[in-house]
Structure 1
Amino acid sequence: MDYPKNVPSVGLVNGRFVDEDPVAGTPGSLIPATWGNSVTQEILNVVQAAGITPNETSNNQLLAALRSPALFMTAAQFDNSRLAATTEFVQRALGSHTSARGVLSATQLSLADVGCSIGLGGNAAYTVTLPDAAAAPSGATISLHCRNSAPVTVASLTGTQISPQGAALNSIVMNNGESANFVRESGVWVVYGTAGLKYSSSFAAQINSPGYQRLPSGLILQWVVGASDIAGNMSLSLPMRFPSAILGGIANEANPAGWSASNATVWALDLGASTPTVAVARVRNIDPTGIKPSSGISGRILVWGY
């Protein structure tokens, strides 16, 4: 659309319309029918595109059309073109979660769940499978929070697409009260939140017997089970070496059911004899004949160090 510059004798001055000047004897500009029709049609195109029926007696249809949602469609979820963004698109991309829902059983999530906050409910274990990370755009985020009284496994659709604390896994486990944001980065779902902490080297653990638990402060707990030798001593190799030293520990009977009304045992950790790799405890058996060392008495040792 432009001024009718190519119409002869239309009377434009510097390319614009002017009024008649009776004093100076200059005529006013003419408005050609073609130009007037073009201007009208330009306006009608906007009105009709908004789904509004033109009304000759109405003077606010262009404003209504410009305010109509029909003229400003929200782009597709992952659109990254230079189209104008509606507030709906901006809110979905950068603001609050787009939606929230819950699941109670095995579920396959899709890209439609990107931006969603999903509660994992129920009382039985099940598996929730993430969308294929290769199909998700960078930065896509799915938020999960576990309310299930049983563990929920969150699995990759294919391969090892889940990365908590730098690891590459095909699944992680979420327990009651844990939360996680799965963010698509570099082709994998990177885990942020409490559900990823147990996969950190700062929280490394071996939940067996023997076993250990590391803590971010540097403190390490270790536990072992064994039996005394003929001298009433129990020396057990620890599942991991303390980087510096053992700070303390306790030892006790692993099978107190073996006691009777006439006998019991007394245990103590021998901190001086213990090393960063071996925990040493001593046991004495108390019975009517006295206090003496005995072999084959089962015992447990819990030590802590750094």
Structure 2
Amino acid sequence: MDYPKSVPSVGLVNGQFVDEDPIAGKPGSLIPATWGNSVTQEILNVVQAAGMAPNEASNNQLVAALRSPALFMTAPQFDGGRSAATAEFVQRALGSHASARGITAATQLTLADVGCSIGLGGNTTYTVTLPDAAAPTVPSGATISLHCRNNAPVTVASKTGAQISPQGGYLASIVMNNGESANFVKEAGMWVVYGTAALKYSASYAAQFGTTGYQKFPGGLIMQWVMGGSDVNGNMSVSLPIRFPNAVLAGVADEGNPPGWGGGNVTVWSFDGNNSTTTTAAARVRNVMASSVRAEPGLSGRILVWGY
């Protein structure tokens, strides 16, 4: 659309229409029928596209059409085109979550849950299944936020295969406990997990639980515990579950079977730091009786040792 510059003798001044000036003897500009019809049709196209019937007596149909939801529809959820974005589309795509809802039973999540904040409530265990991360309909960057307030563990599972990646691993499911939260973000065909629910899958939090075990902490501290028995000299040396990368810091030792104490004796254990290494923990035990203190073989002992 432009001024009718190509029409001969249209009478434009500096490229625009001017009024007639009888005193100065200057004629006004002409408005060709083609140009007038074109301008009118341009406006009518907008009015009709908004689903409105043209009304010759109305002077505000164009602005009404421009404000009409028929013209400014919210684009589909994952639209990546260059059309104008409504406030609804922007809110759904960026910043605040698009919506929030709660789950208390086994649920299959869908594309409608992308961008949502979902609370996992209840008192019993159940499984929540994520959309198929391999499906092309799930765009890269799609995010589902889960936070667990269930009094029992909730399993979050892949729809197919090992599509969940906490801390670089590839798992078919992870477990969320009360108070944990996680953002599941589609990256390279996987649901990558960010949040507190992913921490227990980190090598920095690795653990082994049992009579013998260990717990790692992200600052580098490692705690280990072992059980064993004393030799003929009242000494105990037990292999650790894992090697300390650098050094042993300290430890404590105690009786592994306190009910074995008698009325006239008690055992006294001491952690032996001098003979402990990055792979073994050592302790000494003495049997204290009313009239003597002696090394005692075959006593059950426990050692808790920490290092880094």
SS of the residue aligned with 2:102?
A: strand
Q: CA deviation at 1:304?
A: 0.5
Aligned identity (percent) is 73
Judge which range, 211-220 or 19-28, deviates more: 19-28
Alignment of 1:146-161 (within 5 A): 146-161=148-163
Deviation at 1:228, TM superposition (A): 2.2
Cα offset, 1:28, TM superposition: 3.9
Q: How many residues align?
A: 305
Aligned-residue offset at 1:245 = 1.6
Q: Which amino acid letter does the alignment assign opposite residue 232 of structure 1?
A: G
Aligned to 2:125: 125
Corresponding letter in the other structure for 1:128: V
Q: 2: distance between equivalents of 1:236 and 1:75?
A: 66
Q: Is the deviation greater in 288-297 or in 215-224?
A: 288-297
**Aligned amino acid, residue 11 of structure 1:** V
Aligned to 2:87: 87
Contact 1:5–1:12 (8 Å) recurs in 2? no
1:225 aligns with 2:227: yes
Please, which moves more after superposition, 72-81 or 284-293? 284-293
SS at match of 1:242: coil
For the aligned residue pairs, the C-alpha RMSD in angstroms reads 2.4
5 Å matches for 1:159-174?
Answer: 159-174=161-176
Which of 175, 190, 203 is equivalent to 1:201? 203
Given residue 10 of structure 2, which amino acid in structure 1 is its aligned partner? G
In structure 1, the residue matched to 2:107 is 107
Give 1:139's match in structure 2, choosing from 141, 145, 150: 141
Instruction: Calculate the TM-score normalised by the size of structure 1.
Output: 0.89
Counterpart amino acid of residue 220 in structure 1: I
Deviation at 1:37, TM superposition (A): 4.1
State the partner residue of 1:68.
68
2:10 maps to which residue?
A: 11
**Per-residue deviation at 1:232?**
2.3
Distance in 2 (alpha carbons) for counterparts of 1:209 and 1:127: 31
Letter in 1 for 2:77: Q
Query: 2-side partners of 1:59 and 1:262: how far apart?
Result: 109
1:12 positional shift: 4.7
Aligned: 1:211 with 2:217: no
Report what 2:307 is aligned to: 305
Q: Deviations over 1:85-122 (max 9, x none)?
A: 11221221122111111111222111211111111112
1:65 alignment partner, SS class: helix
Deviations 1:199-231 (A, max 9, x none): 222222222331111222221110112222333
SS at match of 2:70: helix
Q: What runs of 5+ residues in structure 1 fail to find an aligned partner?
A: none
Give the counterpart letter for 2:69 in structure 1: P
Alignment CA distance shift 1:126-1:257 (3 Å): farther
CA distance in 1 between partners of 2:157 and 2:227 (Å): 35
Most deviating of 36-45 and 103-112: 36-45
Note the alpha carbon deviations across 1:214-262, whole angstroms, 9 max, x for none.
Answer: 2222211101122223332221100111122211101112222333434
Secondary structure in 2 aligned to 1:209?
Answer: coil
User: What is the rounded CA distance, in whole Å, between the counterparts of 1:52 and 1:261 in structure 2?
Assistant: 101
Deviation digits for residues 108-148 of structure 1 (CA, Å, limit 9, x no counterpart)? 11121111111111222222221111222111111111112
Q: CA deviation at 1:29?
A: 4.3
- Cα 1:123–1:296 change in 2 (3 A) is farther
1:292 aligns with 2:268: no
CA offset digits 1:130-167 (Å, max 9, x no partner): 11112221111111111122222222222222222222
